[in-house]
Structure 1
Amino acid sequence: MTIRNLNYLFKPKSVALIGASTRPGSVGAVLARNLFRAGFDGPVMPVNPKYVAVEGVLAYKNVASLPLAPDLAVIATPPDTVPGLIAELGARGTKAAVIITAGFKDSDNAHGGALRRAMLEAAQPHLLRIVGPNCVGLMVPGQHLNASFAHLTPRAGRLAFVAQSGAVVTSVIDWAQPRGVGFSHLVSLGDVADVDFGDLLDYLAGDPDTDAILLYIEAVRSPRKFMSAARAAARVKPVVVVKAGRSAAAARAAASHTGALAGNDAVYDAVFRRAGMLRVHTLDELFTAAEILATTRPPAGDRLAIISNGGGIGIMATDALGYMGGRLAELAPATIAALDRVLPATWSHGNPVDIVGDAPPERYEAALLPLLQDPGVDAVLALHAPVAVADGAEAARAVVRAFRSKPGKTLVTSWVGDQVARAGRQVFTDNRIGTCRTPEEAVRAFMYLERYRRGRLALMQTPPSVPEQFEPDAERARYVCRQALADHRDWLSPDEVAALLAAYHIPQVQPRHAATPEAAGQAAADIGGPVALKIRSPDIIHKTDVGGVVLSLQGEAAVRGAAEAMLEQVRKSRPDARIDGFQVEPMLDRSRSHELIVGIAVDPQFGPCILFGQGGTAVEVLNDTAIGLPPLNMRLAHELMSFTRVHGLLQGHRGIPGADLDAIALTLIKVAQMAADLAELVELDINPLLASPEGVLAVDVRVRVAPVADPAAPRLAIRPYPKSLEQTVVIGDGRSLLLRPILPEDEPKLQKSFERLTPEQVRLRFFVPMKELGHSLAARLTQIDYDREMALILTEPGIPGTTEIFGVVRIAADPDNERGEYAVVVPEHMTGQGLGALLMRQIIDYAKKRGLREVWGDVLRENAAMLGLVRKLGFRVKDDPDDPSLVRVTLDLTALPAT
């Protein structure tokens, strides 16, 4: 379940409090006080057989005696009573419950887990949603609903706060009260038996009373649902997150470099970044970010101008900007000239703009106007230190006037100090302009805005097409992995590793296998030139640790002697290890190459993740790596590379040419595809991957496999491209076209396809005239989440982004996966070949297999062609009561025969 029946949680018409009490200090008494005194406009019905009345309201002995079925039940009774109460409430028609009671985990008591299962089984037949158990409760100030035992009633506002910890919720309320911060929702999730972060992200993303969503996360349940909901929410409003437990188990024990480096917190960083969420590390940062994002438009870029009445605070802000990775704007000559005309001769003549300590309000206004008009300035930070000769509140009003007269830029303010500065900050608060107490806090707030801008931009960027089309031999790769498991081995042999890389077209060194030192010498003679000698053993993962690698050997005799010495050394170091001989490889010219690491590790929560960074034997010491989530495209692969320090070296330095960055990115895409295809693959290490101007070459590779119960079970946190939906179809003119899911790379060709629609087709499809398909809408239509939406296109075979699109059909499922809205369009030059019917049948078949119960759409009444098509397909057609120009068409998928 997702948002089904959540309205009964947050907008109930009636509430029952089961376990209400009059005993001072008890949870039942605090709950009763909060519910009755919050001003809730509806009946609140206390239930407890011990009392005649609670808070002056008649109490009821049990659920059966309630005069009506409550929309929402708040339960604070012993854990053994809860499953029965849920069953009774569900039978009466209650659709939501907040369970305050603890004791539903195996660690709580002997039968805590059984109680949890019984509670959920009791709720399921009635679709009754549960928040908790073991939670503080929930609050919706705008509805005057306080179904919690918090010590304070929060103010109404436009921030939603969701946390697993009840203590954090109550602390946040305490923090927010004196600062005047208000909330649309506060939810304590507790043990997260039912309603989770994914559900609430979906609900709050569509809530018109919420401007920003704040999360305090300890762990994520249902990673794919969380990622899907988070990516959807972050597209429409800021989502700011604090993740607790950053230092716990920083890296799990693993045999490979990748496993050691892919720590839990690094994976969460990748998760939040991929979802477009803004991560902060403390509650104070959480609310600084939330306040600034809720009041201030993100900048168009990262160039910041600073204006202040004191050089010291301006310099402090500049230092903070540099430390946090920001950029000081370079003022245009015209701006300098304009400032010269309105400022004293002693002003700083540059950025930061020091307008001198005696600055009256008028000087602030006159100096701010040129900065707001400078095309090289994306945002302005206005600072003020208290002085005896000028009024800070009046200066704040002058800044507001200037900002209102020249809108379009981002403005952040900091009136530094406490008692005297408070009035100035209140001016900004009253005008919904972001304000902070210190210069450093204000710079941090600007950087939150900039990070949010970059995150949203990343969600909408169009990836370039891959430089080459590759078709991995996934079946061959699966056979290799499963054969090793059948032989009771978890590490692939060098030959199996070579076959695996070949299946995914990853360039690799071609080693020669030598069973004896003599054979190794002969292999070196055959190769000619310097060679590398390596031990072969299924039991030795890091060969250099046991003297199992010797480089730059020249000649047969040298190799034979080195092999004999190596054999003796390895047997001393690892007498238990099985030795399969040696590998002999040609030495590579590394003078123009960089040693990189590329790997796969499986996170216990989010599944396979991809590691990239600087490689070599000291990779853990260097710790220059970044984590990404599969699947990847060219943009995401390049972005992953950019998070490392080695990325700068890869672009060339001091006369050394840069590496082929596209070749590295393509390798990352191939490895990510491997992670998606091979359920048995649990660790992969390519270290080093040599990268040069000529391309990449995998030199040393380790792969570990493990059996899986269900290879088809979802493993990736983000659903990968559903290749199984691809098929070749023959259209009316005899051409063979590819029917496949849409990809982000298809955006340019989708825009081209739109250009071939007639104005009438555009109006009938989009209901409004449109001259072009802009980037934002085109990105939204191509960068879809396959877990909740599907779009199929008819196109020519070839690299996505380079082939023409001849028709599109899509379906967008509701968060509850019950109903889906369809849309279909075929350019006029392709009409008359039955493509509309073909596409509609395909999407109906997909929707039925997905488990949807209904497909629906709104059609203009004059669109006779579409109405004729859907009638032939079995849709029901009904008038839209709210718009006479539209008709609603629906298809009951449950009535269709099984396919």
Structure 2
Amino acid sequence: MTIRNLNAIFKPKSIAVIGVSRRQGSVGAVLARNLFHGGFGGPVMPVNPKHESIEGVLCYPDVSALPITPDLAVICTPPDTVPGLVKELAERGTRGVIVITAGFGEGNNETGMALRDQMLAAAKPHLTRIIGPNCLGVLVPGIGLNASFAHISPPKGHIAFATQSGAVVTSVLDWAQRRKIGFSHLISLGSMADVDFGDTIDYLANDQHTRAILLYMESVTDARKFMSAARAAARMKPVIVVKAGRHAASAQAAASHTGALAGSDAVYDVAFRRAGMLRVDTLGELFDAVETLSSAELPQGDALTILTNGGGIGVLAADTLIAQGGELADLPESVVEALNAVLPPTWSHGNPVDIIGDASGKRYADALRVLTEQHESDAILVLNCPTAVADSMEAAEAVIAEKNRPGKPGIPRPALFTSWVGQYTAEAARRRFSEAHVPTYSTPEGAVRAFMHMVEYKRNQAQLLETPPSVPEVFTPDYAAARDLIDQASADGREILSEPEAKQLLAAYGVEIVPTEVAADPEAAAQAAERLGFPAAIKILSRDITHKSDVGGVVLDLENAEAVKQAAEAMQRRVTETYPDAALQGFSVQPMAKRAGAWELIVGVTDDAQFGPVVLFGQGGTAVEVIRDQALGLPPLNLKLAHEMMRQTRIYRQLKGYRSQAPADLDMIALTLTRIAQIATDFSEVKELDINPLLASDSGVVALDARVRIGENGMGTRRLAIRPYPRELERTITAENGEDYLLRPILPEDEPALHRAFAHLTPEQIRLRFFAPMKHLSHMAAARFTQIDYDREMAFIITVPGVPGKAELYGAVHLNSDPDGEEAEYSIIVRHDLTRLGLGRILMEQVIEYAKQRGIKQVIGDVLRENRPMLSLCKQLGFSQKTDPEDRDIVHVRLPLSDTSKSP
């Protein structure tokens, strides 16, 4: 389930509260007080057989005695009573329940878990939704709903806050009260037995009263649902999250470097970035971020100019900026000269721009005007510390006036932040900034953090919509060879592939490897080295030894056969002495891969308990756990996402080249990352994979060593947090002119082809499709069409085999489903030079069949009345047609679907 029946919880017309009490300070008493005095306009019906009335309102002995069926029931009775109450309410027609009570399996208590299962079983047949159990409740100030035992009722506003912790709700309420911050929703999700973060985000994303979504999160229950909802919501409004447990140790016992490096909290970081969300560290930063995003322009980059009347606080701000990865903007000579004309000779002549402690309002305004009109700065931070020789409020008013001064047409102005330091003298100025919608912070460090939050948010948003480059060529992996390798190891009862097998798996996916042979004994190793060439490298082969170098199981740069034989014999003795119980399968032999100036990298895959497969990239070598220079990504990956992963590491700056060192082939490294991600996507048996080192130079990459751990065949692609490209939906179709075309799902890389196809449309086609004239298709519109979530959206295109983005696109159909799969809206377009070939019908039949397979109940669409070919096709396909009563030029078409089989 997702948002189905959540209106019964967040927009109820009637409420029953079960377990109310008169006992002062009890949960039941506080619930009753909040519900009766919160301003809710509908009936609130208390249920308790021990009382005739509560708060002067008639009390009912049980659910059956209620005069009407409540939309929402709030339950705070003992846990063993809850399943029966939910059953009775659900059978009567109640579709929303908030269970305040705890005792449903916290700490893995078996009795409580059984009660939890009974409660869910009672609700499921009737699609009754449950918030909780073990929660504080729900507040919707806009309708006067306070179905909680919170101590404060907040004013209405446009911020929604959802949390797993009830204690955090009360703390946030207390914090927000003093700052007069209002809310559209406050939702305590508790144990999330039913309604979870994915459901809540989906609901709030479509709520017109919510402008920003804030989350306090400890864990997710369904990673794919969460990612799908978060990615959709983040395209519409800011989604900002505090995740608890940042430094919790991973419980995974890893057999690879990758498994040891990829901690669970780091994976959450990756998921938040991939979804376009912003992660902050504290609740204070959470609300600072909301204020900043609502009142400041997003900066274009991370270059900041600091304007201050105190050198010390300017240096503090600069230190914080550099520590957080930002940059001080350059001050060109022209800007320095302009500042010289308006500032005293003693100003700092650099960034931070220190205008001296006696700075008047006019000096602030003059300096700010010069800096605003320069283009090197992405944002300006204005600082003020109180002095006896200047008026802080005068300076604040001057900054506000300068901010409101009209800028030059067509020239963006830098984002503006302020921090008036202090308490007594600065409080009035900060209040004035808030009234003028100028972001303001009590400390310079807080202001810099807010700026960097905006930088990160903009990057995450850009990543959601950035078009990835096309791959260099169409590549089809040797899936059958890879499958044979994994199946053979599984049949042998082996968990670890041998090094040669691991390399063969990589080679099947186009990753360059060093030729490797397996030798049973030292003599055979010497013979293999003679065939492969010198200098040679040998490594021990043993399923029982995880890291070969730890036991002297790797010897390099062997110049002849005798050296290989002696090294193998010595290696065999060392391993036998160190690990007498280890089973030795022999040796792997390979020629040394000599690439001058090459870097040692690590690329790998591990399985995260929450988000499934995770890809790792970083600096490799034997000290990889000590160096810990790595970045993570969620598959599937494209070249853009792979490059973004690489940029997050320290070694990336080296890979770009320096001095006489040529840059590494970054595109080939990125391509390798995408192919490793594809292995993880295609084979749920692959639990861990390491390439360490992956040797990278200006001439490409080569895998020197590889390790793969396999396990049981899992859930297929369902285990991935992001549904991958559904390659199984590709097929060849034949048009009425006898020509063959490729019908396949769309890819983000197809955006250039989509723009070219749009250019082939006639003005009439554009008007009929988009209901308005358009001269060109914007990047934003094209990105939203091509960068889809295959879990709730689908778009099929008609093209020809070839590189996505370079192969021409002749027609497309898009299907956008609601979160519950109740209905999906289609849109379709075919190039005018290929009309009358039956392509439109093929696309419509394809999308209808897909909707049936996904379990969607009906397909709908809007068609202009004059678009007779589309209306005729809809009639042939069985769509009903109804004229829009408010706009008779629009016809609503609808096709009910009987097949509701859900595909993965």
TM range (shorter): over 0.9
**Structure 1 residue 803 corresponds to structure 2 residue 818:** no
Report the residue type matching 2:42 in the other structure.
G
Report the residue type matching 1:593 in the other structure.
A
Alignment of 1:753-764 (within 5 A): 753-764=757-768
Matching residue within 602, 607, 615 for 1:597:
602
**Structure 1 residue 254 corresponds to structure 2 residue 254:** yes
For the 8 Å contact 1:624–1:645, the answer to whether it is kept is yes
**Structure 1 residue 816 corresponds to structure 2 residue 788:** no
For the 8 Å contact 1:212–1:293, the answer to whether it is kept is no
- Deviation of 1:322 after TM superposition, in Å, equals 1.8
Taking a change above 3 Å as real, the CA distance of residues 162 and 796 of structure 1, as seen in their structure-2 partners, is same
**Structure 1 residue 835 corresponds to structure 2 residue 868:** no
Matching residue within 734, 738, 741 for 2:745:
741
For the 8 Å contact 2:500–2:516, the answer to whether it is kept is no
Deviations 1:868-889 (A, max 9, x none): 1101110000011222221100
Deviations 1:538-558 (A, max 9, x none): 322322222221111121222
- Deviation of 1:381 after TM superposition, in Å, equals 1.5
- Deviation of 1:373 after TM superposition, in Å, equals 2.4
Matching residue within 510, 524, 531 for 1:505:
510
Report the residue type matching 1:615 in the other structure.
G
Alignment of 1:131-150 (within 5 A): 131-150=131-150
For the 8 Å contact 1:251–1:260, the answer to whether it is kept is no
Aligned equivalents of 2:297 and 2:9: distance in 1? 31
Aligned equivalents of 1:521 and 1:363: distance in 2? 80
- Deviation of 1:338 after TM superposition, in Å, equals 4.2
Report the residue type matching 1:596 in the other structure.
L
For the 8 Å contact 1:856–1:888, the answer to whether it is kept is yes
Aligned equivalents of 1:622 and 1:251: distance in 2? 21
Alignment of 1:231-242 (within 5 A): 231-242=231-242
Aligned equivalents of 2:109 and 2:695: distance in 1? 55
Matching residue within 560, 566, 581 for 2:571:
566
**Structure 1 residue 413 corresponds to structure 2 residue 428:** no
Could you tell which deviates more after superposition, 338-347 or 267-276? 338-347
Alignment of 1:204-243 (within 5 A): 204-243=204-243
Please name the residue that 1:866 is paired with: 870
Give unpaired runs (5+ residues) of structure 1.
none
Deviations 1:254-297 (A, max 9, x none): 12111111111111111111111111222222222222123322
Secondary structure class of the residue paired with 2:894? strand
Could you tell which deviates more after superposition, 433-442 or 530-539? 530-539
The list of structure 1 runs, each at least 4 consecutive aligned residues, that deviate by more than 6 angstroms after superposition, is 895-899
Matching residue within 474, 484, 487 for 2:479:
474
**Structure 1 residue 625 corresponds to structure 2 residue 630:** yes
**Structure 1 residue 634 corresponds to structure 2 residue 651:** no
Alignment of 1:155-174 (within 5 A): 155-174=155-174
Deviations 1:745-789 (A, max 9, x none): 111110111111111111110111110011111111110000010
Aligned equivalents of 2:494 and 2:620: distance in 1? 26
- Deviation of 1:334 after TM superposition, in Å, equals 5.0
Please name the residue that 1:425 is paired with: 430
Alignment of 1:81-480 (within 5 A): 81-105=81-105, 107=107, 109-250=109-250, 252-406=252-406, 408-409=412-413, 410-480=415-485
Aligned equivalents of 1:724 and 1:429: distance in 2? 54
For the 8 Å contact 2:852–2:899, the answer to whether it is kept is no
Secondary structure class of the residue paired with 1:654? coil
RMSD after superposition:
1.9
Please name the residue that 2:780 is paired with: 776
**Structure 1 residue 42 corresponds to structure 2 residue 31:** no
Aligned equivalents of 2:873 and 2:847: distance in 1? 14
Aligned equivalents of 2:204 and 2:195: distance in 1? 13
Report the residue type matching 2:640 in the other structure.
R
Taking a change above 3 Å as real, the CA distance of residues 482 and 524 of structure 1, as seen in their structure-2 partners, is closer
Report the residue type matching 1:767 in the other structure.
F
Secondary structure class of the residue paired with 1:290? helix
Aligned equivalents of 1:368 and 1:280: distance in 2? 29
Secondary structure class of the residue paired with 2:259? helix
Matching residue within 580, 590, 593 for 1:588:
593
Identity, in percent, stands at 59
Taking a change above 3 Å as real, the CA distance of residues 836 and 311 of structure 1, as seen in their structure-2 partners, is same
Aligned equivalents of 1:108 and 1:6: distance in 2? 28
Matching residue within 660, 665, 675 for 2:665:
660
Aligned equivalents of 2:669 and 2:789: distance in 1? 26
For the 8 Å contact 2:164–2:188, the answer to whether it is kept is yes
Could you tell which deviates more after superposition, 371-380 or 562-571? 371-380
For the 8 Å contact 1:136–1:166, the answer to whether it is kept is yes
Matching residue within 681, 686, 690 for 1:681:
686
Could you tell which deviates more after superposition, 128-137 or 733-742? 733-742
Taking a change above 3 Å as real, the CA distance of residues 881 and 457 of structure 1, as seen in their structure-2 partners, is same
Aligned equivalents of 2:663 and 2:469: distance in 1? 20
Matching residue within 711, 717, 740 for 1:706:
711
Report the residue type matching 1:511 in the other structure.
T
Report the residue type matching 1:887 in the other structure.
V
Give unpaired runs (5+ residues) of structure 2.
none
Please name the residue that 2:580 is paired with: 575
Report the residue type matching 1:176 in the other structure.
A
Aligned equivalents of 1:189 and 1:830: distance in 2? 52
Taking a change above 3 Å as real, the CA distance of residues 830 and 629 of structure 1, as seen in their structure-2 partners, is same
Aligned equivalents of 1:535 and 1:507: distance in 2? 22
For the 8 Å contact 1:98–1:133, the answer to whether it is kept is yes
Aligned equivalents of 2:309 and 2:655: distance in 1? 44
Secondary structure class of the residue paired with 2:344? coil
- Deviation of 1:396 after TM superposition, in Å, equals 2.2
Matching residue within 729, 754, 768 for 2:733:
729
Taking a change above 3 Å as real, the CA distance of residues 736 and 851 of structure 1, as seen in their structure-2 partners, is same
For the 8 Å contact 1:373–1:406, the answer to whether it is kept is no
Aligned equivalents of 2:297 and 2:56: distance in 1? 48
Aligned equivalents of 1:11 and 1:866: distance in 2? 38
Please name the residue that 2:556 is paired with: 551
Aligned equivalents of 1:435 and 1:860: distance in 2? 50
**Structure 1 residue 846 corresponds to structure 2 residue 850:** yes
- Deviation of 1:342 after TM superposition, in Å, equals 3.6
- Deviation of 1:389 after TM superposition, in Å, equals 4.2
Could you tell which deviates more after superposition, 54-63 or 759-768? 54-63
Please name the residue that 2:71 is paired with: 71
Secondary structure class of the residue paired with 2:440? strand
Deviations 1:443-470 (A, max 9, x none): 1111111111111111111100112221
Taking a change above 3 Å as real, the CA distance of residues 521 and 12 of structure 1, as seen in their structure-2 partners, is same
Aligned equivalents of 1:691 and 1:109: distance in 2? 52
Taking a change above 3 Å as real, the CA distance of residues 493 and 348 of structure 1, as seen in their structure-2 partners, is closer
Aligned equivalents of 2:902 and 2:130: distance in 1? 34
Taking a change above 3 Å as real, the CA distance of residues 488 and 326 of structure 1, as seen in their structure-2 partners, is same
Report the residue type matching 2:890 in the other structure.
L
Could you tell which deviates more after superposition, 347-356 or 774-783? 347-356
For the 8 Å contact 2:515–2:532, the answer to whether it is kept is no
Could you tell which deviates more after superposition, 391-400 or 830-839? 391-400
Aligned equivalents of 2:321 and 2:881: distance in 1? 60
Secondary structure class of the residue paired with 1:734? coil
Secondary structure class of the residue paired with 1:288? helix
Aligned equivalents of 1:99 and 1:858: distance in 2? 41
Report the residue type matching 2:821 in the other structure.
N
